[in-house]
Amino acid sequence: MEEHGSASVAAGPASGAGLALVTGANNGIGKEIARQLLSCGFTVYVGARDAERGQAAVGELGPGARLLVLDVTDPRSVEAAAAQVPALDVIVNNAGVSDLGQTPVETEVDTLRRVYETNVFGVVTVTNAFLPVLRRSARPRIVNVSSGTGSLGWSTGPNPQFDHRVGGAGAAYRSSKTALNALTVYYAQTLAEDGFKVNALAPGLRATNLNARAAESGGDPAEAAAGAVRLALLPNDGPTAGFFSWDGTAAPW
């Protein structure tokens, strides 16, 4: 599990019915985020690249879940999806891919491109495409699912929590999440005057299909999802431009 900082995020309102989009929501943390938002009264667009898998998730999640087929790496797919959404209050940019745990000297440039296409460029593509409808919301929120491995603070110093000897994700994944953190800050600053709250989440190691280490971790995706939902429900005086661990405490950049 990831270490935690000292500054805690206050929980948002217990209920806040609205419209939310969760990318990569047909499995893992994304599906749990969708499930918990539904329980808070949201209607949730279940973003999925594969229509069949997305529909299966919608059937499992039940009333209030709506399939939205979109491939975050395909601008045309994202534009077509955005045209189907008349209103939105929350975007959770959850879709992500990993690499083979390679160091920078082992990593092919094509691997970097593939990982960044989803983890960085995909977030920009989705966020920008849905901004027009999100701007209509009285409480617009954007949550970017990042990673503790993207933290430079946790990756450096005399006893780093994450370094090249820690298995799982490698240079492409980790640096993509560092880039995502930087984008989170820039979006937050740019959109602050419009009432947006834009934050990044370090979900901790969870039992998902991200990579072999995650699959074997035993970490509960629902626990991480609760952290994302907390950021999605932030009150108007809540933080923005922050990086928070799954339990609401501040994570080092």
Residue 9 · residue 228 · CB < 8 Å: no
75-82 helix and 122-134 helix, angle to the nearest 10 degrees: 20
250 token code pair:
């501040």
What residues are paired with 46 via a beta bridge? 22, 67
Q: Tell me which of 31, 177, 187, 197 is the catalytic residue.
A: 177
β-bridge partners, 250: 244
Strand positions, DSSP E, the chain:
19-22, 43-48, 65-69, 90-93, 141-145, 197-202, 242-245
Strand-pairing partners, residue 8, are 249
**Is 197 in the active site?**
no
Q: What's the 3-state SS for 183-215?
A: HHHHHHHHHHHHCCEEEEEECCCCCCCCCHHHH
For residues 135 and 87, give the distance between their C-alpha atoms in angstroms, rounded to a whole number: 9
Among 31, 173, 187, 197, the one annotated catalytic: 173
Q: Is 31 one of the annotated active-site residues of the chain?
A: no
Active site residues: 173, 177
